[in-house]
Amino acid sequence: MNDPYSHPALFTCYPSLKAKLPWVHLGNFPTPVHPLKNLGYKNLWIKRDDQTAHVYGGNKVRKLEFLLADAIKKKRKRIITFGAIGTNHGLATSIYSNKLGLGCSLLLFDQPVTRNVKQNLLLFKKYSAQTIYKKTVFKTALSFYLAQRIIHPRAYYIYAGGSNAIGTIGYVNAAFELKSQIEKGAMPVPDVIFCPAGSKGTTAGLLLGTRLAGLNTAIIGVRVTASHFGPMEILTADSIQKLAQKTYTHLQKLYHEIPEVIINPPQILDDYFGDGYGQVTDKGKRAYHLMKEKENIHLDPTYTSKTAAAVLDYCAKPENRVKTILYWHTYNSVDMSQQATSVDYRKLPKKLQKFIEAEEVKF
């Protein structure tokens, strides 16, 4: 049974942060942690961030509790963010912006069309998001960093995945939440935590949070996005470390008594990415069906299937049988299908209608 959630675990440890760090209550925390008993491993656990909220779960809720609170504090009325056409971050931002009475604009680029992509496109409409299709990552980034800021100078801009220093605090807080669960006997201290490494915020937050919480736990990120965009680092161990350091610096400015910690780069696994962002992999497919059949855990092809595949390979190695392994599940488990079917896709912008009509990638 979850304890009543009145404020983030981070505020319990650092009480004066409550007056300095904007936060809005969106989620249902702590999320459960329990062993995965049916996969043949006695040392594998799961943290159920698919259950972060009854409205819409997944890892973005933790970030949005801080990001949208910051927008409200700054009296911004419109949120602008970006992602692929099936962005879960975009959907979460749409839903919770709508809940808080904020406008939301999504800048979108291409990805392989799956059932989840189609559903999310319909749900963007359901939750009144303005969808602006830019086709390529380059055009999307150009619009986000230049054109939109000229058109909407008073909007609140959220980087893809909600992964800046403010959003990343959501997963610093999550590490403190996990520590509290460990202290209450919910699970042993994990030797390793696996999570998807996409926009960096989840991995960076856990990297910093475990250090601050005093957990001697290695963070392993499974890369699900490109490592570079031209010469620019997008997803590397160094870029994750830099984001963790920026988040740490931000927290230190707010609360000078935060202890000194050393933030080393996390381990990043590159072997599960496949042919590109959102591209289905054979190992991901196997992990998807195995988790569904054995544990009734639902994964997605873009992030969590690839991460679960890495976790299962890691567990299978004899030298890892004595380790406590935690898979941090970041995909929403709230069934949104009925809400999506209530939307007439012909009300979407014409450039997006073709994706609803397109053949789905089989998974």
In three-state form (DSSP H/G/I as H, E/B as E, the rest C), the secondary structure along the chain is CCCCCCCCHHHHHCCCHHHHCCCCCCCCCCCCEEECCCCCCCCEEEEEHHHCCCCCCCCHHHHHHHHHHHHHHCCCCEEEEEEECCCHHHHHHHHHHHHCCCEEEEEEECCCCCHHHHHHHHHHHHCCCEEEEEECHHHHHHHHHHHHHHHCCCCEECCHHHCCHHHHHHHHHHHHHHHHHHHCCCCCCCCEEEEEECCCHHHHHHHHHHHHHCCCCEEEEEECCCCEECCEECCCHHHHHHHHHHHHHHHHHHCCCCCCCCCCCCEEECCCCCCCCCCCCHHHHHHHHHHHHHHCCCCCCCCHHHHHHHHHHHHHCHHHCCCCEEEEECCCCCCCHHHHHCCCHHHCCHHHHHHHHCCCCCC
pLDDT at 7: 87
- Per residue in 267-304, pLDDT tens? 999 999 999 999 999 999 999 999 999 999 999 999 99
Q: Is the pLDDT of residue 1 over 80?
A: no
- What value does the mean pLDDT take over residues 139-159? 97
Class at the top of the CATH hierarchy for domain 14-57+186-329: alpha beta
Give the chain's mean pLDDT.
Answer: 96
CA-based nearest residue to 104, from 55, 21, 162, 171: 162
- Per residue in 213-269, pLDDT tens? 999 999 999 999 999 988 888 899 999 999 999 999 999 999 988 999 999 999 999
Is 2.60.40.2230 the CATH number for 61-162?
no
pLDDT at 363: 77
Place of tokens 């259950």: 51
pLDDT interval class at 362 (50, 70, 90): confident
Q: Do residues 49 and 330 make contact, with C-beta atoms less than 8 angstroms apart?
A: yes
Q: Where are the domains of the chain?
A: 14-57+186-329, 61-162
Q: CA gyration radius for the chain?
A: 19
pLDDT at 3: 45
Q: Is the pLDDT of residue 2 over 70?
A: no
Q: Do domains 14-57+186-329 and 61-162 have the same CATH topology?
A: yes
Q: Cα–Cα–Cα angle for 54, 55, 56, nearest 5°? A: 95
pLDDT at 14: 94
**Range of lowest pLDDT (2-11, 110-119, 167-176, 311-320):** 2-11
pLDDT at 156: 98
- Separation CA 38–CA 25 (nearest Å): 34
Residue type, 297: I
- What value does the mean pLDDT take over residues 313-318? 98
- What value does the mean pLDDT take over residues 31-43? 97
pLDDT interval class at 157 (50, 70, 90): very high
pTM: 0.96
CA-based nearest residue to 226, from 137, 311, 121: 137
Instruction: Give the CA distances from residue 124 to residues 106, 155, 201, 269, in Å, rounded to whole numbers and listed in that order.
Output: 9, 19, 23, 32
